[in-house]
Amino acid sequence: MLSHLPDLLQGTLDLLILKSLAPAPLHGWAISKRIQQMSSDVLTVNQGSLYPALYRLEDRGWIASKPALSPEGRRIKVYRLTAAGRRQLSHEIDAWRHFARAVDQLVAT
């Protein structure tokens, strides 16, 4: 668990959320599970920062929410990626690759 790396997560949280929503719409808890799962349990999103991030992305228009019912019949919100969000995701991926390559080079020397 790398939850004690807040700076890294802060910058990349948007990328992680957008990426996790790329295949299919999910509700909040499922997003955090999907990130954990996709990163082979390396990255865990702190719930305290997940929901503010979701609301911020929604305000920017990158994701959209829809009221839905959970299997248990509870009222929840399901988030999906918007067209603008898809564009933003590819930007974020490019930026991340750029950043990661630079750090790789730095570490390799």
Under the binding rule (CB under 8 A), the answer on residue 5 touching other proteins is: no
Cα separation, 71 vs 77, whole angstroms? 13
Under the binding rule (CB under 8 A), the answer on residue 52 touching other proteins is: yes
Q: Which of 1, 4, 40, 67 binds other proteins (CB under 8 A)?
A: 67
Closest Cα partner for 78 from 12, 34, 15?
34
Distances (CA, A) of 63 to 15, 25, 56: 12, 10, 9
Q: Which of 24, 47, 90, 94 binds other proteins (CB under 8 A)?
A: 47
Q: Are 42 and 48 spatial neighbours (Cβ–Cβ below 8 Å)?
A: no
Residue 22 beta carbon to other proteins: minimum distance, rounded to whole angstroms: 19
Q: Which stretch binds other proteins (CB under 8 A): 7-15, 16-24, 76-84, 98-106?
A: 76-84
Residue 60 beta carbon to other proteins: minimum distance, rounded to whole angstroms: 7
